[in-house]
Chains A and B, each alone.
Chain A
Amino acid sequence: MTRARPIGPRATRAGALGAFVERAGDVGALLRGEGEHAPDAERVPWSSLCALAFTSALLHGAVVGSFGMRPMQSAFSAVKLPLLLALSTLLCLPNFYAVNAVLGLRDDFRAALRAVLAAQATVAVALLSEAPLVLLAYASTTSYPFAIVANGACFALASACGQVVLGRHYRRLVEKDPRHALARRAWLVLYVFVAIQLAWMLRPFVGDPGLATRFFRAEPFSNAYVVVLRTVAALFSGRG
């Protein structure tokens, strides 16, 4: 049985969709950690990882934004979802490098970065695989909160998939030096912290049918954590 699939020529000129179709054969390899996506493969498939992550996030974003059946919201969400993945990763990378360097893991940074990118690509691919579930949820309800919860559940599942791939890459690194476990944890904590705020800034992704279609919400940028704390405080002061 041939397990490592030959990879076709890059199709950057054919546009995002063309590149995605070209890379579709890669998905199995990415998910199983085989071929050029094996944790110990010589060459790091940077372009393949980025293409998979970008196109999957783009397509899933379009699906997420289709709740109100408004093409503009779909287009906005298709732009925003890859933006969310890319920006949150980029914002945390300098710290990830610093943490690795301080822990004396600089020599493995290439492998660590590859682990992180593979995990992000997996999150995007897993999200896209859940797109039919999102569409089914949309088809069966007109409730905006239900649509939000359904999307939240899909994100949670996709993040868990990303962790599986991150774990697969990091198992080898931790075998080599246990301090990699600490670097991985530091990455995770910072990434979640940043991604939540970025997702808050980039909302709406689903698009409340009761509100006008906009790229960003009308109100100025706010801090997700402050909003949550204020809500909790209001809850207690209101009751007490």
Chain B
Amino acid sequence: MRLDFLHVDRLLRGHFTRPDDLARGEIDVPTRTLALAAALLGASYGAFMGLYGALRPGHASALQVFASAVKVPLLFLLTLLVAFPSLYVLSALADSRLSARDTLRLLLCAIATNLALLASFGPVTAFFTLSTQSYAFMVVLDVFFFATSGLVGLVFLRRALNHVFRGIDAQPAPTAAPLHVTTEPNTPGGTGLPPALAPAPMPTSPSRPRAPKPRARAIFTVWILIYAVVGAQMGWILRPFIGTPEREFTWFRERGSNFFEAFFKALGQLFS
């Protein structure tokens, strides 16, 4: 246990994601330990989150504490599992040097960072749970804490990706050798234009033509988009986390509807 949290401490200090290692496409992380630490951190916040269900005015059930403690880590790890193949394919297409395993490690680091921060909000959630009756307030508070810690996880990921793609820029392009063809302007295969009028060849600098920053940014944007959509929907499937006072304790609510339908329905109700 003690060792786990030592690793978390090292993670938060950025010892696993040194710029030079990332630029080489290497991430040296004790994967299992980190996954376990992430699960424990998530579970601790989940327990605080489910406290409301155990103390709520109606249908109080201590099971909610246990259910939420299981569901919060599950939410993050299942989201990672579902989104990972697409995330890997997209980053590989952008010439990321991270192998599938290293990409998974990097995402795990981001999630552990996210969960560490979320867990640190746990006592505050517990404090408000004990001092408030309002379900709506608790929902807003929890969403706020998830969003804040999520944002920190994103900043972590963003920095790491910048280093990863900076490494690519420093690397000479592996495909610098031209096609084995002699380009004579007046052969049928050529452009038929005198050399001066022929289109200028691409600059043959040793570095790749595209700057690393836009690429890192594009990958980051798409990753966030996929991850956020999957995460939102996964959260919807795994609900309830807090436990509304109006209903009995259930492990899961009924299947059907989805985060986006519900969201747009709520929006429609706001404006009608």
Contact = CB atoms under 8 A, between A and B. Distances in A.
Interface of A: 1, 3, 27-28, 31-34, 38-40, 104-105, 107-108, 111, 122, 125-126, 128-133, 135-137, 139-143, 146, 157, 161, 164-165, 171-173, 175-179
A182 B229 CA distance: 37
19 contacts: A1-B26, A27-B92, A28-B92, A33-B95, A33-B175, A34-B174, A111-B179, A130-B86, A136-B230, A136-B237, A141-B256, A143-B261, A146-B258, A157-B86, A161-B90, A164-B93, A175-B178, A175-B202, A176-B178
A136 B202 contact: no
Contact of A133 (B94, B95, B230): B230
A172 B175 contact: yes
A136 B233 contact: yes
B179 to A, nearest CB: 6
Contacts, number: 108
Contact of A137 (B99, B183, B233): B233
A171 B233 contact: no
Contacts of A132: 81-83, 85-86
B143 interface: no
A216 to B, nearest CB: 30
A32 B92 contact: yes
A122 B93 CA distance: 9
Shortest 5 CB-CB contacts between residues of A and residues of B:
A31-B92, A129-B85, A132-B82, A129-B89, A140-B258
A69 B258 CA distance: 19
A182 to B, nearest CB: 12
Nearest to B176: A40
Interface in B170-193: 174-175, 177-179, 181, 183, 188-191
Given A132-B83, A133-B83, A126 B89 contact: yes
B194 interface: no
A123 B237 CA distance: 29
B224 to A, nearest CB: 14
B197 to A, nearest CB: 12
Given A1-B24, A126-B89, A165-B93, 6 more contacts: A31-B93, A108-B181, A126-B93, A130-B86, A175-B178, A177-B183
Interface residues on B, range: 35 or more
Most-contacted residue by chain A among B83, B174, B226 (CB, 10 A): B174
A222 B170 CA distance: 54
A146 B202 CA distance: 44
B88 A107 contact: no
A69 to B, nearest CB: 12
A128 B97 CA distance: 21
A171 B179 contact: no
Contact of A171 (B82, B202, B234, B236): B202
Interface in B225-247: 226, 230, 233-234, 236-237
Contacts of B24: 1
A119 B230 CA distance: 26
Interface string B201-220: 11000000000000000000
Contacts of A129: 85-86, 88-89
Nearest to A25: B100
Contacts of A173: 179
B257 interface: yes
A125 B89 contact: yes
Contacts of B99: 28
A177 B190 contact: yes
Contacts of B268: none
A108 B181 CA distance: 10
Nearest to A126: B89
Contacts of A125: 89
A124 B86 CA distance: 12
A130 B190 contact: no
B201 A175 contact: yes
B175 A161 contact: no
Contact of B82 (A27, A136, A179): A136
A173 B256 CA distance: 50
A66 to B, nearest CB: 15
Interface in B246-264: 255-259, 261
Contacts of B95: 32-33
A140 B175 contact: no
